[in-house]
Amino acid sequence: MKKWYMVTLVGRDRRGIVAGVTEALFEGRCNLGEASMVRLGGNFATMLMVEFDGDTPALEDMLRPVSGRLGLRCHVDEIEAGLHRHVEPDVRISVYGADRAGIVAEVTGALAEAGLNILNLETDIGGTEGNPIYIMHLDGVAEQGVDTLREVLETLSREKNVEARLVENDLLMG
């Protein structure tokens, strides 16, 4: 009986990681689901839904040769999951400002209190080493309405010295 697993792989970035891992999974008769793969600070980090007719140790064994060859640490979790369970984000929020400790906690804490459920979050540091800029971009669901979130973002902009922008997702179905 096929089960879903979340496979997490982390290691120094190099060419061929995605190709090597997905080939090994294909050879091992796995199906791939949704995935997020990104280079972060020179590391390549992968989270991958894998459907497999076997148990966790068997999947770990399958991945060991390729992760060893590519210098990746590998972690496998059996998950309760399925495809076609997308939740539609209704807001898109961007926040940026001079980088300083606590900025993410302040922003996400205030937004969570105002009813934001984050579906997707990417953050990055731009600028220069002397003047780093923290940049946050997220998609989410405004569970207590968009106006509440707008108020919170205005307060954050005013009090925490960040620039914040909220765009409502006016989904076009055509």
Partner 1 sequence: MTMAVLEILVYPDPRLKEIARPVETVDQATLDFIDDLEETLLAGPAGVGIAAPQVGCLKRIVIVDVSSKPKIPHHGHLVLINPVIVASEGSVVGREGCLSVPDYTGNVARANRITLSAWDKTGTEQVYNMEGFEARAVQHEMDHLEGLLFLDRLVSRRDIFRRKVYQKPGTPASKPS
What does the binding site for partner 1 look like in residue numbers (CB under 8 A)?
84, 86, 88-89, 92, 94, 96, 120, 122, 124, 135, 137, 139, 165, 169-174
Query: Which residue, 28 or 31, is less far from partner 1 as judged by CB?
Result: 31
**Tokens 């400790």 found at:** 101
Burial-class residue 6 by CB neighbours within 10 Å (0-12, 13-18, 19+): middle
**Tokens 């179905």 found at:** 173
17 SS3 class: helix
Query: Which residue, 1 or 171, is less far from partner 1 as judged by CB?
Result: 171
What stretch of H or E contains 150? helix 146-160
> Taking the CA atoms of the chain, what radius of gyration do you get in angstroms?
20
Query: Which residue, 51 or 60, is less far from partner 1 as judged by CB?
Result: 51
The least distance separating partner 1 from the CB of residue 151, rounded to whole angstroms, comes to: 20
The least distance separating partner 1 from the CB of residue 4, rounded to whole angstroms, comes to: 17
The least distance separating partner 1 from the CB of residue 126, rounded to whole angstroms, comes to: 9
What stretch of H or E contains 164? strand 163-168
**CA distance linking residue 46 with residue 6, whole number of Å:** 10
Query: Which residue, 60 or 146, is less far from partner 1 as judged by CB?
Result: 146
The least distance separating partner 1 from the CB of residue 87, rounded to whole angstroms, comes to: 11
**CA distance linking residue 80 with residue 171, whole number of Å:** 29
Strands in 163-168's sheet, in edge-to-edge order, are 116-127, 132-142, 91-98, 163-168
Query: Which residue, 120 or 144, is less far from partner 1 as judged by CB?
Result: 120
The least distance separating partner 1 from the CB of residue 160, rounded to whole angstroms, comes to: 17
